[in-house]
Amino acid sequence: MASSDIEAATALKVQGNKAFAQHEWPTAVDFYTQAIEKYDREPSFFSNRAQAQIKLEAYGFAIADASKALELDPAYTKAYWRRALANTAILNYKDALKDFKAVVKREPGNRDAKVKLADCEKLVRRLEFEKAIEVGDPPSAFEDLDIDSMAVDTGYDGVRLENEMTQEFIDDMIERFKKGKRIPRKYVFQIIKAVKDLVYAEPTMVEVGVEQGKKLTVCGDTHGQFFDLLEIFRLNGYPSDTHSYLFNGDFVDRGSWSTEIALVLYAYKWLRPNGIFLNRGNHETDDMNKVYGFEGECKAKYNETVFKVFSESFSALPLATLIGNKYLVLHGGLFSDDNTSLDDIRKLDRHNQRQPGQQGLMMEMLWTDPQTEPGRGPSKRGVGLQFGPDVTKRFCERNGLEAIIRSHEVRMEGYEVEHDGRCITVFSAPKYCDTTENKGAFINVGPELKLDFQVFEAVPHPDIKPMAYAQNSILSMM
């Protein structure tokens, strides 16, 4: 290997570090990749790329890169650290535990590593305990709730909620949330119960059209970024009789206003059952909520029962929406089997399987991602799989679709059209987690079923950090 190649590779790494410092994660990955192509024996190139992959939530790729760095240098502490974080992010706590132990062993004075190790040990114990006491089919969390007889807190000075949702209540609730106030628990339970019943009765794949004089807006992940949700409504109009919305999963977790987003979307769903559509995302699941903040937020702002009823309502949500027989909207993406059809989605009994698990149709709908290469590949996340343009083309042709619309991944411009126009990603959480310099986007669809992409910037919010309610500190370093 010529020394000029090593110098060139090192220069590319430096450029990658600069891009990383500016929160341009995809650019950083590109530079580190170019460095590795020039010289593939330097562990820091792989370890740095692992860190950028973590920022992109490509945890599977991060684990592979950290492992390669350790293959080149088994004493490389940073690589153990990054592999541990990536494994934690996809809930592989036992693997993470080994790596946190390796860090502490090599750096006994590293306080942060000791805290992470202790947190990881607690998580492993908690999960083992929960598994041990698990009952086959837990009773409904609503069973022991006598919502009618609950009192409204005496200090509540807002609009009252009776047996029907009103626009007046929603407007008042939004204003309260903007000021950091809450609504009474009785109303929270009323809203969740009403919406759980509504969405439970909907098919697994909801089928909608767009009538003359109306429009439908498709939004991607909002991830607890309540003030950015309000910016969408300010720019594009609030839900109304002529303007419906479809939110494509991941309303909650990470951002610290997840309960506010969920309650506003649910309130609109109750007011206009045919004007708001909600697809389930991979973060409307118990495993993710326990780690990424939603469970902790429910407990901090309301109580544990609120989380339990939200969880039950999430498992009732539809998994996909078909717009005008032309666009299939689902959170993650396509399937491991080319023979999977829209009819298979229609027939999927989501009520028998509350959580998506590690395999099967539901997991794939919530977790998969597109790739540029043909065929299928291992998931960059470490969960699910990736599908190429040929897979998308076959699926669309066999099912008479123009394209699939999915979310699930940050896109720096807020959206991306891939796979020869047949795979569209829309992401609606700008400046994601306050650290990624991405824009947000949403898609307006009119009666002609043409897609009109709108891009928007993040707006200021009160100084509460993302993951403020996470149950442990493990992910705070990511």
**Residue 82 in contact with residue 55, Cβ under 8 Å?**
no
Helix (H/G/I), strand (E/B), else coil: 199: helix
**pLDDT given for residue 359 in this prediction:** 84
Q: Which two structure tokens, joined as six digits, stand for 367? A: 């977790």
Rounded to whole angstroms, the Cα distance separating 165 from 270 reads 6
**Residue 172 in contact with residue 157, Cβ under 8 Å?**
no
Domain 147-477 superfamily per CATH: Metallo-dependent phosphatases (3.60.21.10)
In degrees, rounded to 5, the angle at the alpha carbon of residue 47 between the alpha carbons of residues 44 and 53 is 140
351 as an active site residue: the answer is no
The residue-averaged pLDDT of 191-204 equals 98
Rg (CA), the chain: 23
Q: Which two structure tokens, joined as six digits, stand for 244? A: 């419906």
Task: Determine how many CB atoms are found less than 10 A away from the CB of residue 70.
Answer: 22
| CA 420 from centroid of its chain's CA atoms | 25
Segments making up each domain of the chain, as ranges? 3-133, 147-477
Q: Which two structure tokens, joined as six digits, stand for 175? A: 């204003």
Which residue's entry shows tokens 């697994």? 204
**Set 223, 243, 283, 461: catalytic member:** 283
pLDDT digits (tens, 9 = 90+) for 377-389: 999 998 899 999 9
pLDDT bucket at 124, cuts 50 / 70 / 90: confident
Average pLDDT over all residues of the chain = 94
**Residue 323 in contact with residue 210, Cβ under 8 Å?**
yes
**pLDDT given for residue 473 in this prediction:** 60
Rounded to whole angstroms, the Cα distance separating 374 from 281 reads 25
pLDDT bucket at 472, cuts 50 / 70 / 90: low
- Angle, to 10 degrees, between the axis of helix 43-55 and the axis of helix 59-72? 170
Reading across the β-sheet that carries 376-378, which strands appear in turn?
Answer: 369-370, 385-387, 376-378
Architecture of domain 3-133: Alpha Horseshoe (1.25)
Task: Indicate yes or no: pTM above 0.85.
Answer: yes
